[in-house]
Structure 1
Amino acid sequence: MSRPFRHPPASAIGIDAVLHALADPIRRGVMVKLLGCDGLSCSKACSDLSPSTISFHHRVLREAGLIRSEKRGVEVINTARKAEIDVRFPGLLDAILRHHGPP
C-alpha cells in the first residue's frame, strides 16, 4: 500500500518554498502545463524525463503547496492549486509564469 500524499494547508504555504520551487525551469514548465488543464498525470507532464526525476520535481511542487496530487489507479494525477496560491499571494503565479520560456 502506498503512502498518501501530504499537501500543506493553504495557510501554511510560504513564499520561500513557492519561489524555490518555481526557480527551476522544469518545474515552471510543469506548472504552465498544469494551469492549462484540469489535471495531468506525472508522465504526461514531463514525458522526456526519467521517472525518478519526474517524481522529484512533482514532490518539490507538492511540498511547496503549488500542486495537489491524487492517486487514480496506477497513475498520479496532478492539479495546480492556483486559486489557493492567488488568495495567499495575489498575482504571483501569473507574474512568474508570464516570463517562463524554454530552459
Structure 2
Amino acid sequence: MTGQPGGGKRRELADDLIQREEIEERINKLIKKSRPIKAEITDCLDELTNSLEASILEQYFIEDIQLDTIALQMSYSFRQVKRLYGDGVKHAKIPGNCDTL
C-alpha cells in the first residue's frame, strides 16, 4: 500500500476509441431518424397563413430557441409571443396530418 489512489481499472486508448465510435454511431442513427420528423414539422409550418406564428414555431421547434429569447429577438413581449405560439400550434393541427406539434 502506497497511500496513492488506485484508480480502479486501467483505461486503454483502444477502449476509448471504440466507445467514441459507438457514440458517433448512435448519434448518426438519431440524426437519420429525426430528419423525417423535422420535414413533417416544417411542412406543417409552411402551411400556416400567419407568418409570425410560423416564425415563432420554427424558432422554437426547429432552432430550439426558448420563447423568452424569441420575444427579445423579435422585440415583442413574452406574453405576445406566448399567445402567437399557442395560436400557431392550434392552427398547425388543422391542415393534413400535422398533429406533430
Could you state the TM-score of these two structures normalised by the residue count of structure 1?
0.35
**Which structure is higher in RCO with an 8 Å CA cutoff and minimum separation 6?**
1
Q: Which has the larger helix fraction?
A: 2
Which structure has the greater CA radius of gyration?
Answer: 2
Q: Which has the larger strand fraction?
A: 1
Could you state the TM-score of these two structures normalised by the residue count of structure 2?
0.35
